[in-house]
Structures are given as C-alpha cells and as structure tokens.
C-alpha cells in the first residue's frame, strides 16, 4: 500500500490571489499557477530567510520534499517574470493552521471561519482616505 501523502502545512492563505504584469488586461495574459505550498516555501525561505531545514519543519515535510516544492515554486515565479505571465496562487496539497477566508471586498485573506462582510484592512484604508 502506498504511503499516504502528508499534507503540507501553510500558515495561512497568501494576502492576494495572484499577480499580473502591469498594463496588460487579464484576458490578454496567459497564466501560471503557483500552489499554496509553493507560495509558502518561497515565503519561508526567501521572505523570512529561513534555512530549508527550518522551512521543512514549519511545513511538516521532509527536507527533500521542501527542496522539491521550493525549486518548483522558483521556476514558476521565474517563468511568470521572464515570459510576462500572470501568476495565480491556488490549489495544492496543503492544510492551513486555523480557518481562513477572503474578504469579499478587497479579496485579502483574513483568519477566522465566520462569514465576514469586510475585513479590517479595507476598512482601515477607507478611514485613512476620509480623514
Ligand atoms: Zn477587505
């Protein structure tokens, strides 16, 4: 019997659903997909500067698995940059710590399972504009 694949732990959803090149309408772009666990590997290794051993422990995977996920992630990001593609962050084989949902207004990720009308983030920016 095959060993069941362990889910990769990600601490939360990425802040945005994806990235696109400046000045080109979405409908004219082709896209690449960055999986949630690939996003998390880049966030841990490159943004937070963790060593791969540490990132692997955070995601509860083996070091070779982390390396594989991380290298695929960097190839995907590099492809988007070099070929001018949009990058959508979705899918994968992952679990999050706690519940996350997306603000229906600004589409940013917020923690919590309850259905939210809007998050604190877009509320905050609105307050700034009005003062
Ligand atoms: Zn919001």
pLDDT tens across 12-22, in order? Answer: 788 889 999 99
> Residue 46: pLDDT above 90?
yes
The CATH architecture of the domain made up of 8-97 is Orthogonal Bundle (1.10)
> Residue 8: pLDDT above 80?
yes
Ligand 1 mean position to 120 CA, how many Å?
6
Ligand 1 mean position to 110 CA, how many Å?
8
Band (52; pLDDT cuts 50, 70, 90) = very high
Ligand 1 mean position to 85 CA, how many Å?
26
Handedness of CA 56, 59, 64, 69 (dihedral sign): negative
> Residue 77: pLDDT above 70?
yes
Ligand 1 mean position to 60 CA, how many Å?
30
Domain with CATH 1.10.10 in the chain: 8-97
Return the pLDDT at 7. Answer: 86
Return the pLDDT at 95. Answer: 86
Contact 118, 105 (CB under 8 A): yes
């Amino acid at each position: 019997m095959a060993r069941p694949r362990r889910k990769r732990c990600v601490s939360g959803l990425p802040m945005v659903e994806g990235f696109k090149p400046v000045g080109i309408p979405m409908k004219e772009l082709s896209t690449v997909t960055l999986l949630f666990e690939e996003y998390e590997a880049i966030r841990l290794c490159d943004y937070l500067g963790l060593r791969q051993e540490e990132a692997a422990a955070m995601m509860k995977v083996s070091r070779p698995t982390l390396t594989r996920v991380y290298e695929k992630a960097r190839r995907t990001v590099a492809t988007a940059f070099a070929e001018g593609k949009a990058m959508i962050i979705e899918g994968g084989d992952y679990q999050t710590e706690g519940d996350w949902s997306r603000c229906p207004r600004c589409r940013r990720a917020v923690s919590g399972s309850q259905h939210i009308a809007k998050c604190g983030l877009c509320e905050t920016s609105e307050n700034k504009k009005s003062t």
